[in-house]
């Protein structure tokens, strides 16, 4: 306490500038965190696509769904047709089923082919895991904000009966990962993997026996949208592939995932190019500002320091006083940033929709640590360098 009192007194006259400086560091470092979180998000998006097997193709939304389409039958015809091609290795579907309600919100159910997780290993990494309970569901944080139970009651419409309650098990809660940033292709029919992989307002289950049986009961009121993904055999020749593409073009629009991944990467690179310079520039500016205020402190407060020395402080204590007071200007902003980050982190965990497009990861903490250490290092070395040459006695004599 006494130390803080003393440091505070020492900084007298520099309070406003150090306050502004601290704000600058807070702002700069927060901007850096946001940029990083945005890149994290884009990168996570990209990884999902990139980690897919190279020969996986997405074939858009294949048919206009009609009420009453059997869950089992959905996309069946297309799958059968596709499977007749000699180059095709695997075909799987992602079906979206609506309308479903949870907690007075409209949601849909996505049913994944069970083997899809093998081709999209990134999904598992971000929490799409059905191993413990194949008939359980994965829910979106955006919808299930603050919901901590292991099961949930959803409502499905049943013709003639009305809304019907149904209890499902929850495997895991995840954040929506795929944003429109990555897939805003623009032209009609451009693949929207957001539907394929995940979106908000979905609960996700496996397209297996028990889940199909469950939904079959409501088949007359549910609309089912089949999406088809296929993968070539590794031995597929170019001609075999071309045949499939020709067919696919007739059926709908398809885009090789590799192409999407490449486009994603371009987006990320463009984002890095456009968003990194500003925070770096600001950070350099604030470093220079820290540097000059430290130098200023040593010259402006030279007399105070020599008085401190006179009163019985050792040389090291005088240096420590300068370092301590400048460190305060670095420590406090860093603490503020850490607090803001942990707040955002908490919001993210709760699936706050305002954080769409951002992903706060460990590297955000490292960014704070990095800016903290670097600023402190600069400040300390300037303080040390500018005080090294001076002896208190000379300053005292100078003012005598």
Q: How far, CA to CA in Å, does 169 sit from each of 95, 152, 217? A: 19, 6, 18
Query: Minimum Å distance from CB 358 to another protein?
Result: 45
Does position 299 bind another protein by CB under 8 A?
A: no
Per-residue mark of binding to another protein, 155-184 (x: CB under 8 A): ------------------------------
Q: How far apart are CA 92 and CA 38, in angstroms?
A: 31
Interacting stretch for another protein, rule CB under 8 A, among 185-193, 196-204, 264-272, 304-312?
A: 304-312
Does position 7 bind another protein by CB under 8 A?
A: no
Query: Minimum Å distance from CB 393 to another protein?
Result: 5
Does position 1 bind another protein by CB under 8 A?
A: yes
State both tokens at 211: 């889940």
The answer to whether 136 and 130 are in contact (CB under 8 A) is yes
- Shortest CA distance to 122 belongs to which of 192, 181, 52, 172? 52
Does position 304 bind another protein by CB under 8 A?
A: yes
Q: How far, CA to CA in Å, does 386 sit from each of 14, 68, 307, 320? A: 18, 81, 18, 13
Task: Figure out which of the listed residues 112, 309, 360, 372 binds another protein, where binding follows CB under 8 A.
Answer: 309
Phi and psi at residue 23, in whole multiples of 5°? Answer: -60, -40
Does position 273 bind another protein by CB under 8 A?
A: no
Per-residue mark of binding to another protein, 333-372 (x: CB under 8 A): ----------------------------------------
66 or 399, CB closer to another protein? 399
Phi and psi at residue 33, in whole multiples of 5°? Answer: -65, -45
Query: Minimum Å distance from CB 16 to another protein?
Result: 14
Task: Figure out which of the listed residues 315, 328, 347, 350 binds another protein, where binding follows CB under 8 A.
Answer: 315
Extract the runs of DSSP E, i.e. beta strands, from the chain.
56-61, 88-102, 105-112, 137-140, 151-158, 162-174, 202-206, 223-232, 254-256
Does position 396 bind another protein by CB under 8 A?
A: yes
- Indicate left, alpha or beta for 351 from its phi (over 0: left) and psi (-120 to 50: alpha): left
Query: Minimum Å distance from CB 338 to another protein?
Result: 29
Does position 399 bind another protein by CB under 8 A?
A: yes
339 or 393, CB closer to another protein? 393
The answer to whether 286 and 343 are in contact (CB under 8 A) is no
Interacting stretch for another protein, rule CB under 8 A, among 149-157, 177-185, 308-316, 350-358?
A: 308-316
Q: How far apart are CA 364 and CA 370, in angstroms?
A: 10
222 or 318, CB closer to another protein? 318
The answer to whether 59 and 248 are in contact (CB under 8 A) is yes
64 or 399, CB closer to another protein? 399
# of chain residues touching another protein (CB under 8 A): 27
Q: How far apart are CA 43 and CA 377, in angstroms?
A: 31
Task: Figure out which of the listed residues 316, 354, 362, 389 binds another protein, where binding follows CB under 8 A.
Answer: 316
Q: How far apart are CA 250 and CA 85, in angstroms?
A: 15
Q: How far apart are CA 352 and CA 347, in angstroms?
A: 5
Does position 389 bind another protein by CB under 8 A?
A: no
Query: Minimum Å distance from CB 34 to another protein?
Result: 39
Does position 317 bind another protein by CB under 8 A?
A: yes
Task: Figure out which of the listed residues 278, 281, 284, 310 binds another protein, where binding follows CB under 8 A.
Answer: 310
Does position 12 bind another protein by CB under 8 A?
A: yes
Q: How far, CA to CA in Å, does 288 sit from each of 6, 24, 32, 72, 330? A: 26, 12, 17, 66, 13
Query: Minimum Å distance from CB 355 to another protein?
Result: 45
Contact residues for 25 (Cβ-Cβ < 8 A; gap 6+): 286, 290, 329, 330, 333, 334, 371, 375
- Return the residues of window 215-244 that contact another protein according to CB under 8 A: none
Does position 16 bind another protein by CB under 8 A?
A: no
Query: Minimum Å distance from CB 330 to another protein?
Result: 23
Does position 311 bind another protein by CB under 8 A?
A: yes
Q: How far apart are CA 96 and CA 306, in angstroms?
A: 75
The contact set with another protein (CB under 8 A) reads 1-2, 5-6, 9, 12-13, 303-304, 306-317, 392-393, 396-397, 399-400
């Amino acid at each position: 306490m006494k130390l803080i009192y003393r440091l505070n007194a020492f900084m007298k006259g520099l309070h406003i500038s150090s306050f502004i400086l601290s704000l600058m560091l807070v702002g700069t470092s927060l901007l850096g965190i946001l940029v990083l979180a945005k890149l994290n998000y884009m990168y996570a998006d990209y990884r999902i696509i990139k980690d897919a097997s190279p020969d996986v193709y997405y074939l858009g939304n294949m048919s206009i769904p009609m009420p009453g389409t059997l869950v089992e039958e959905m996309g069946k015809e297309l799958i059968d047709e596709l499977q007749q091609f000699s180059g095709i290795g695997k075909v799987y579907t992602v079906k979206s089923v609506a309308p479903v309600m949870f907690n007075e919100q409209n949601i849909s159910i996505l049913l994944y082919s069970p083997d899809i997780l093998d081709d999209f290993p990134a999904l598992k990494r971000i929490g799409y895991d059905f191993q413990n309970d194949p008939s359980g569901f994965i829910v979106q944080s955006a919808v299930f904000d603050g919901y901590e139970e292991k099961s949930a009651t959803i409502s499905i419409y049943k013709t003639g009966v009305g809304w019907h309650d149904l209890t499902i098990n929850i495997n895991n809660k995840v954040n929506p990962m795929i944003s429109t940033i990555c897939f805003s292709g623009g032209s009609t029919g451009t693949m929207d993997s957001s539907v394929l992989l995940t979106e908000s307002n979905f609960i996700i289950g496996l397209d297996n026996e028990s889940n199909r049986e469950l939904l079959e009961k409501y088949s007359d009121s549910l609309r089912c949208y089949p999406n088809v993904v296929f993968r070539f055999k590794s031995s597929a020749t170019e001609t075999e592939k071309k045949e499939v593409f020709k067919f696919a073009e007739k059926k709908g629009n398809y885009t090789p995932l590799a192409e999407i991944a490449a486009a994603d990467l371009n987006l990320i690179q463009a984002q890095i190019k456009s968003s990194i310079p500003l925070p770096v520039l600001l950070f350099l500016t604030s470093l220079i500002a820290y540097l000059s205020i430290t130098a200023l402190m040593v010259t402006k407060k030279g007399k105070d320091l020599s008085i401190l020395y006179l009163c019985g402080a050792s040389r090291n204590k005088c240096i420590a006083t300068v370092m301590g007071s400048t460190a305060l200007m670095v420590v406090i902003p860093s603490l503020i940033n850490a607090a803001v980050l942990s707040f955002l982190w908490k919001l993210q965990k709760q699936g706050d929709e305002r954080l769409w497009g951002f992903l706060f990861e460990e590297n955000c903490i490292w960014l704070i640590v990095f800016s903290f250490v670097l600023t402190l290092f600069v400040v300390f070395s300037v303080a040390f360098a500018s005080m090294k040459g001076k002896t208190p006695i000379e300053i005292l004599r100078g003012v005598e």
